[in-house]
């Protein structure tokens, strides 16, 4: 009998996204990702193939999460108020660590064209 799945994929992607966001692709080791996500190495490679595969999925997760958050402000607040609130979400706080996409572009040389699709 197969073992049940013991991980939450969304939580794994969120954790990886946060690590990549703070340290960048080059600054993160596969060991660190395994440790922080709670996945064992075999599962990590089975799910994502390699570090770049996990990064691609984490980046897609970031995009979905960010766009969903931003668009929900417009949906919940129609008209001018929605537009004002939408742009307020772009105000930088003291904890601002940059945009994951912008940070990724600075490291662009290490990624294949497929990463940006």
> Tens digit of pLDDT for each residue in 50-76?
999 999 999 888 888 777 777 888 889
* 9-111: CATH number: 1.10.357.10
Q: Is this model's pTM higher than 0.85 or not?
A: no
The ranges assigned to domains in the chain are: 9-111
* b/e map 66-99, b = 16+ CB within 10 Å: eeeeeeebeeeeeeeeeeeeeeeeeeeeeeeeee
How does pLDDT run across 38-53, given as a tens digit for each residue?
A: 998 999 999 999 999 9
Write out pLDDT tens, residues 1-48. Answer: 556 567 889 999 999 988 988 888 888 999 999 999 999 899 999 999
pLDDT of 93 above 80: no
């Amino acid at each position: 009998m197969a073992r049940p799945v013991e991980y939450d994929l969304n939580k794994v992607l969120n954790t990886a996204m946060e690590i990549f966001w703070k340290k960048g692709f080059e600054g993160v080791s596969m060991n660190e990702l395994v440790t922080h996500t709670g996945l064992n190495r075999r599962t990590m490679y089975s799910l994502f193939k390699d570090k770049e595969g996990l990064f691609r999925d984490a980046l897609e997760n970031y995009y979905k999460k960010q766009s969903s958050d931003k668009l929900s402000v417009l949906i919940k607040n129609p008209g001018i108020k929605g537009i004002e609130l939408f742009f307020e979400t772009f105000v930088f706080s003291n904890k601002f660590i940059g945009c994951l996409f912008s940070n990724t572009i600075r490291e662009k040389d290490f990624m294949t064209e497929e990463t940006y699709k």
